[in-house]
Amino acid sequence: MSDPKAIETGTTTVGIIAKDAVVIAADSKSTIGYMVESKLARKVFQLDDHLGITVAGMVGDAQLIVRLLKAQFKLYKLERGPITVKAAATLLSNVLQGSKYFPYMNQFILAGYDTNGPAIYTFDPFGGYDTHDKFFSTGSGSPFVYGMLEANYREGMSADEAVALAVKAVRAAIERDIGSGGRQIIVAVIDKNGYRELSQADVKKYM
């Protein structure tokens, strides 16, 4: 961990809270050094009926965390019912903190909708999390995304407006960040009806 570049990730992910929903999105480019490993990499995952997550960083670490969370949430649902977004965030934070000496080399955005409405959390590799803002971004494209979000986010915006902003922000990062790109922008909306991923035909309508 002495090399600060060890935690840099070539990715762009976004999470935005809307009036009655939360929107998450990501690019689909995966790299190994200077080589493009995949143009259809999966960085947005459904964890439960009301929960989703974006990942940036090491692919193997991210896939392990996603598998672990899915299993834990299913077990929790069998024993107690659907997990709240806050409890899900605490679980992920504990998992990451428990491996702080051999950290998972990832950043995450956890998003969900429960009886308290839409919620969003962002995590560093050591389990530290933040939930104070209405939008977050991770990965190497995040500086470009934050500029777009700071200028265009509006409290109480509709889910449709949030989707449009998320797509616009990811596209801005793809234009300027060499670590972001791919053939698709993956977008998911989570609201009172659950998790829904947009088709690529629908995503293109926002471009």
Query: What ranges in 48-206 are assigned the alpha helix state H?
Result: 59-80, 85-98, 142-152, 159-176, 200-204
Nearest to 199 by CA among 191, 207, 188, 30: 188
Any idea which residues carry the catalytic annotation? Answer: 11
The residues, ordered by sequence, that sit 6+ positions from 99 with a Cβ below 8 Å of its Cβ are none
Residue given tokens 């009886």 in the structure block: 115
Say how many Å lie between the first and final Cα of the chain, rounded: 39
The token duo for 45 is 């995952």
> Closest by alpha carbon to 142, among 93, 190, 176, 92?
176
Radius of gyration of the chain (CA): 16
* Cβ pair 33, 55 in contact under 8 A: no
